[in-house]
Amino acid sequence: MDRIYRRQRHVYDLTRKYYLLGRDELIDRLAPPADGRVLEIGCGTARNLIAAARRWPQARFYGIDISGEMLSTARQVVARTEVGDRIVLARADATAFDPAWLFGVPCFSRVFFSYSLSMIPGWTSALAQATTWLAPDGELHIVDFGGQERLPVLFRAGLRRWLRHFHVSPRDALQAELSSLARQCGKVVRFERPYGGYAQYAQFRR
Q: What is the pLDDT of residues 28-40, one digit of tens each?
A: 999 999 999 999 9
Q: What is the CATH number of domain 2-205?
A: 3.40.50.150
Query: Using H for helix, E for strand and C for coil, what is the string for 43-75?
Result: CCCCHHHHHHHHHCCCCEEEEEECCHHHHHHHH
- Is pLDDT of 147 > 50? yes
Q: What is the DSSP letter of 197?
A: G
Contact 136, 180 (CB under 8 A): no
User: pLDDT digit string (tens) for 61-111?
Assistant: 999 999 999 999 999 999 999 999 999 999 999 999 999 999 999 999 999
pLDDT score for 16 = 52
Q: How many CB atoms lie within 10 A of CB 187?
A: 13
Task: Find the Cα–Cα–Cα–Cα dihedral 17, 97, 123, 140, rounded to 10°.
Answer: -60
